[in-house]
Structures are given as structure tokens and as C-alpha cells.
Structure 1
Amino acid sequence: MTSTELTRIPILDLSPEIDELWDELNAAVQRVMRSGHFIMGPDVLAFEEEVAAYLGVKHAVGVNSGTDALIIGLRALGIGSGDEVITTPFTFFATAESISSVGATPVFADIDPKTYNIDPAEVRRHITPRTRAIMPVHLYGNPCEMDEIMAIAEEHGLLVIEDCAQSFGARYRGKQTGTIGNVGAYSFFPSKNLGAFGDGGLLVTDDDDVAELARMLRAHGSRKKYHNEMLGYNSRLDTIQAAILRVKLPHIDRWNEGRRRVAATYNELLRDVSGIVTPELSEGHVFHQYTIRLTDADRDEVQKRLEEQGIGTMVYYPVPQDQLPIYEEKYSVQPQSALAAGQVLSLPIGPCLGRVEQVQVKAALKNALRPANVD
């Protein structure tokens, strides 16, 4: 069988969940269209109440994106010029960008090579008198070691804002990620475990004052329209997106469990493939990405050969944040982060991915690795 005869397997296929919920999604969108309430309509408030109940928090504030959730969260916590925020170098740029955007300085602490998450021991090493906060990222849907991070924060009087862009529904020792620190920030980008049909984000907190500030900041710094009290943003969650998220929210635990099943199957199928490291099926991990590490092969060449065989993959992330052009020569290289950036490869994932497709992925991967392995 040639590669053109094989079923192409994308990194993520959203069609199964859309097909499953088509009638409900269609009805929700039509309801909003007929209502005429497109900005901060009833579905926004309803979604905020429902998602707050799901997460177990007092306040949920819908915003325009996960990036805005981070920026508004930082500002609502009073973080700005002269402050340092410790975060991971190994994630998407929005994390450091949000810190820099509020006038603070990102400080990068290296990762644990097993989890790809920020290493608490490295966090401790980077604390200075200017440190105001820690921003852990629950990368790939895998919760960080929050007990250790919170202990460090308490010891040094630091704030914690959790970047949960990839971890909606993930739990750390029974608690939802995003509900452990002072603020949690989520993204509803369409590819996320809970995704909208466009941009969307959420900030959560149990702090009344932080929630009030966040609501002001998302609406041009005003409590009351045309009575602006501070410089804010135009960062409201669209009503249509909120309506779509309301339809999808009741299914998130089932979908996340599906992702865990897919990850478990991958681990089973790939355990006899040499030259790769598979992720642990750790407690609470919701596998936004299923990411392997290639230890004996040229990752970029392997990715190219997989694409030729119809297998979609992604590299999250090829350049650590601290080494991006915007921060060129401002930071020293964090060795574990740099090593991971050259080795990680994310395979197709999704709650509906079948074993047949995963067997095809394995076969293609073994074929792509053949020059570096003895079969």
C-alpha cells in the first residue's frame, strides 16, 4: 500500500465532536442570532456560572483569549513595572508575552525533563527581592507540582497565576488546575480540550477584589459603561462562543477520559519502539498533546517522513521562550528546556482517535525511525 492509499491522520480531528453535538450547537448559535445579544449576552453569564461550578471556584470571568486572561490576571493581581515573574521557558510565547506586556520581567526557570513542566527546585533558585509571582504552565495537559510551588510561594510571599491554556479539566490531587493559585487562566482556542469556534478565554479566582478588577479590565476599565476608571481592554467573551462552550462543557470529562485512553494505547503500542520516550500516564493528566521525545534520531527529519506517510504531527515548542528573537541574548540557555525543544514531537491525539489509526501511526513512526533503529 502506498502512502497515498493510507488514511491521512491529522494531529487533531474536531469533526467527531462537532458531528455528535451538531443539533445542539446549531440550536445554540441560532438562539444567540435570534436574540440579538451578541456582546455580553445571557449566555456569557450562564457560561460563567456553569464553568465556575464545574471548576469549583467563586468567580469565572470570560475574556477574549487565553492571552488576555493572563494579562488581565497579572494586572488584577497588581503585577507591573519593576516586578519579576518566574515562569517556564518551555511553552508558547503568550506566557512570557503577558508578563512583558504588563511591564514586568519574565524570569525563566528550567523544566523537569520527565514532565516538561517547570521544576520547583529551579523556581526556588531564581527568586530575588524583585520576584512578585510564579506562573506555572500545565504543559500538554499535565499538572505541575503545585504543592511544592504553593509552598515556595507561601514561604516567600509570592502570588501564583496558573497558565491552564492546555489543561482544562486536569486535576492535581483532586483539585482542578487553575483553582490552586491566586488566579487561573484558560484558553478556548478551537484546538483546546474545551474549544470554542474562535478565540475565547477565561480567568478564575476566589478573590472578590481580583474578580472585580478583572471584570473592569475586560471592559475598558469600567464598572459602569462610559464611566472608565482605568486603562483596560476590549476583551469580552463573545456570546456565540459562550453558547457553544455551554453545549460542550458537560462533555469535557468524557472527552478528557477519551484522551487518556488514547494515551494509554499509544504507550502500549510504542513500548517496543526504541529511541523514543513516551509520556507517563500520570494522575490528572488530560493529554492536550501526546508528546514523545526522540533520543536517537533527527526529530525534524522524522517529522518530515511522518508527513510523507500521511501522519500529522507538531513540535511544541521548537524554540524556548527565552531564546526567541524578542529576548535575544537577554537570557542564558536553560539546558533541559533547550534539549527538549530539539527532541519533542506531538503525535495525533483526540478523544475519538481509534486503535486502528494509532497502529498506523506506530507503523509510520517505526518506518520514519528506521535509519536510527535496528528492526
Structure 2
Amino acid sequence: MKIFRQSHRFSSLRKSSTIRSDQMIIPHSRPTISKRDMDSVARNLLSGQIASRKEVGLFEKEMSSFIGVRMGVAANSGTNALHLALKALGIKSGDEVVLPTYVCASVLSAVNYTGATPVLADIEPGGYNISPESVEEKLSKKTKAIIVPHMFGIPANLDRLLKIDVPLIEDCAQAIGAEYKGKKLGSLGDLSIFSFYATKVLTTGHGGMALANSPQLLDRFADLTKYDEREGYAVSYNYEMADFAAALGRSQLRQLDSFIRRRNEIAKIYDDAFERIGMDGRTNRDGICFRYVVEVDNPDKYIEAMKKCGVNCAKPVFRPLHKYFGKCGEFPNAERAMSRAISVPIYPSLNDEEISRICKSINRVWANGSPNHMR
């Protein structure tokens, strides 16, 4: 029996019987939800088995197989998945964890949950990923982990980072499906974490997962998340993912190749649009293009000008972490990225009409190399 009659494809998600699409603001981010996804969630809801872990267990196995690691544990957010990864490594008060300053604040929060001291590193010159040189400068006898986000779907420089004798956690929140020298990101570090937030590469609404190959780490995951029916008490965490969320994740995972292919198609269209007006497009073409990031002299002016055209652009990182601590001058590459980077909407559910509008807006706003001509 068909659970939903209406077919939802990428291009149909923005249709409205009362508002024409050319009158609507194109959001910076938006999930891609298909009829297949809705059917999968509905089947689980109708089964009544929404907290049995059956779907969750299958999702954990399928994700682990896709990435190429032994197993993992699903969580109700990427932040909590990272917390579990840190706890599995035994991170505690008095330890230090190195992470980039140019990343969302939830990464910092996960470190703070453990009581460890976060140590901020700069990003690479001209890029957005953590700088191996900066990491090496920040190491101490107290360093117990390094968190390496693959920013915007672009693989970090893992060769040098993996040579450091400190456990490495790959943060693949924006990079599921991307590869580094023929291997899936998430399979190279000691552990890896993923986020399935609403606007990530694939979604479960809220959700995340921590993966590992080590049997010891996997046993630790299991112990940390067993919060009931224990013989002896130990602090554990009720970070369970719901089965209907896992059902959505499994359905999304089966569509991941098409999601990435669509992202690459749209990125190429934007590349051509910038090339036609003699401007540089995205700064890096590696990975899966989770964000289409360009650099300009005054991002706020471009964001405002694109908004006037009906397109919501954004700074890809709201604020570098060092700004929360009042630190200035120590992170020049992150400061450069913050002062220049702007993200243009890119996601599989953009339809052809919306992509055309974005390209026309790029042409208008970037004309003469500045948005100042717009009023």
C-alpha cells in the first residue's frame, strides 16, 4: 500500500499553489526530503517500534560499512557523538584537546562537556581546514586528542596530522561521502564522528554517529550509552537516536550518491557563472562541495546585495572560537577567512529555476567586482 500518494523530487520541494517560486527567498540551507524518505519514516511510525533500536542498529551497520570501519554508535546529535568519542578516549579534566578556531561552537561545547581544556589552532593559509603546523605548535604533554573537521566537505591535510602520536578524531559533519587518497573520510583517524542535522549532507532531523575500528573503543561506546538495566551503576548518557530518525537516515544514505552528484552539478554551474563574468568562484574544488565558498573584500555587503535579489547567502562560520575568548592576532588565517568568506546556497533540493535565479543574482551582484552599484 502506498503511504504517500504525492511524489516529491528535488525540484518539487519549493512548489506552492499560492506563491510563485520567483517571489520566494531562496534559503541558504534546506534539507532534501523525498517520498522514499517519508515512506520509510511512516512505516516505522506505523509499526509502533519507534524505540526498539532495530532501525538504529541497521543504520549503524550500514553507515559503518559505507565508511569502511568496524562499527559505531548512533546518537541524537553530532555534538553528543563527539562527546561520546572524547569520553571513549578517556578525555577528562586536566587533559588538553586541540581543535581549530574556525569551526562551529558545538565542537568546543563537546570538549567542554568532558572538563578538558580546549586548545585552539589556526587554519591553513588560503584554506579552511586545521593547519598541521599550528597543531604541532599547540601540542603539550597534556594533549590527549586532536579534532580534525573536514570543513565544507573539503578533506583536511591528514598525512601530516596522522603522523602525530596523539589520537585523531575526524569530524565528518560536513563531509560524508568525501574521500582522501581513495579512502572514505571517517576511516582514517582513530575515531570519526558525523552529524545528521537537518541541513547536513544527509539528515535524520537531529542526529549523529561516532565510528571506530578499535574493539576497545567500541566496547567503551556501548558502556557509555547503556543507561538502564546495569548490574552496577556508572555514569552513562541517554543519547539514543529514535528508530524513526534512523529510518530516515537509512533512506537518505541510499540516496547519498545522487545527493553528492547533484551538489557537484550545481557547483559546476556556479563555476561557469563566475567564469563568464571574469571572477574567481569557489576557492577549493576538492571533496563534495557541502558549501560553495567564495572570497570577497566585504562579505556583509555581498550578503546584503544577494538578499535584495532574493537569495540568502551567509558567512560559512558564524564566529571563530577565539573571538569568544577575546583573543586577537594569534590566528591570522582564521581572521582572513572570517573577513572574506561567503557561502552561496548549494543543496540537492535546489530546482533548476532557483539555480538560474542564483546565477543571475551572482551576475548582478558581482558585476564590476563589487556590489556597491546596487541600490
TM-score if structure 1 supplies the norm length?
Answer: 0.87
Name the amino acid aligned to 1:251. Q
Counterparts of 1:204-283 in structure 2 under 5 Å? 204-220=211-227, 225-273=229-277, 278-282=282-286
Return closer, same or farther for 1:179/1:213 CA change in 2, 3 Å cut-off: same
CA distance in 1, matches of 2:334, 2:326: 16
Name the counterpart of 1:159. 167
Runs of 4+ in 1 over 4 A off after TM superposition: 4-7, 272-277, 369-372
CA distance in 1, matches of 2:353, 2:152: 24
Tell me, what secondary structure is at the counterpart of 1:136? strand
Name the amino acid aligned to 2:213. D
Please point out which of 175, 180, 184 is paired with 2:188: 180
Name the counterpart of 1:88. 100
CA distance in 2, matches of 1:268, 1:81: 51
Return closer, same or farther for 1:366/1:69 CA change in 2, 3 Å cut-off: same
Tell me how far 1:362 sits from its aligned partner: 3.4
Tell me, what secondary structure is at the counterpart of 2:295? strand
Please point out which of 31, 36, 41 is paired with 1:29: 41
Name the amino acid aligned to 1:10. P
Tell me, what secondary structure is at the counterpart of 1:292? strand
Tell me how far 1:5 sits from its aligned partner: 5.4
Does structure 2 conserve the Cα–Cα contact (< 8 Å) formed by 1:40 and 1:237? no
Q: Deviations along 1:312-337, whole A, 9 cap, x unmatched?
A: 1121213201212xx345x7641110
Name the amino acid aligned to 2:262. G
Tell me how far 1:65 sits from its aligned partner: 0.6
Name the counterpart of 2:4. none
Name the amino acid aligned to 1:207. S
Name the counterpart of 2:344. 347
- The range that moved more, 361-370 or 161-170, is 361-370
Please point out which of 44, 50, 58 is paired with 1:38: 50
Return closer, same or farther for 1:239/1:166 CA change in 2, 3 Å cut-off: same
Tell me how far 1:356 sits from its aligned partner: 5.2
CA distance in 1, matches of 2:258, 2:127: 24
CA distance in 1, matches of 2:220, 2:329: 35
CA distance in 2, matches of 1:228, 1:355: 58
Unaligned runs of at least 5 residues, structure 1: none
Name the counterpart of 1:202. 209
Tell me how far 1:143 sits from its aligned partner: 0.9
CA distance in 2, matches of 1:114, 1:277: 14
Does structure 2 conserve the Cα–Cα contact (< 8 Å) formed by 1:265 and 1:355? no
Tell me how far 1:216 sits from its aligned partner: 2.2
CA distance in 1, matches of 2:341, 2:185: 24
Tell me how far 1:30 sits from its aligned partner: 2.8
Return closer, same or farther for 1:300/1:346 CA change in 2, 3 Å cut-off: same
Does structure 1 conserve the Cα–Cα contact (< 8 Å) formed by 2:172 and 2:186? yes
Tell me, what secondary structure is at the counterpart of 1:271? helix
Tell me how far 1:8 sits from its aligned partner: 3.7
CA distance in 1, matches of 2:42, 2:24: 35
Tell me how far 1:190 sits from its aligned partner: 1.1
Q: Deviations along 1:5-43, whole A, 9 cap, x unmatched?
A: 5664222343xx42xx31x33332233223322224311
- The range that moved more, 344-353 or 243-252, is 344-353
CA distance in 2, matches of 1:274, 1:228: 67
Counterparts of 1:112-123 in structure 2 under 5 Å? 112-123=124-135
Return closer, same or farther for 1:372/1:53 CA change in 2, 3 Å cut-off: closer
CA distance in 2, matches of 1:141, 1:310: 26
CA distance in 1, matches of 2:184, 2:22: 43
Please point out which of 123, 126, 141 is paired with 2:153: 141
CA distance in 2, matches of 1:98, 1:168: 20
Name the counterpart of 2:333. 336
> What is the count of residue pairs matched by the alignment?
353
CA distance in 1, matches of 2:43, 2:306: 43
Does structure 2 conserve the Cα–Cα contact (< 8 Å) formed by 1:112 and 1:336? yes
Return closer, same or farther for 1:257/1:113 CA change in 2, 3 Å cut-off: farther
Does structure 2 conserve the Cα–Cα contact (< 8 Å) formed by 1:160 and 1:183? yes
CA distance in 1, matches of 2:213, 2:226: 20
Tell me how far 1:87 sits from its aligned partner: 1.2
CA distance in 2, matches of 1:91, 1:334: 13
Tell me how far 1:267 sits from its aligned partner: 1.7
Name the amino acid aligned to 2:217. V
Work out whether 1:293 is the aligned partner of 2:299: no
Does structure 2 conserve the Cα–Cα contact (< 8 Å) formed by 1:319 and 1:338? no
Does structure 2 conserve the Cα–Cα contact (< 8 Å) formed by 1:28 and 1:244? yes
Work out whether 1:99 is the aligned partner of 2:122: no
Tell me how far 1:290 sits from its aligned partner: 0.9
Name the counterpart of 2:88. 76
Tell me how far 1:193 sits from its aligned partner: 0.7
Name the counterpart of 1:66. 78
CA distance in 1, matches of 2:299, 2:196: 29
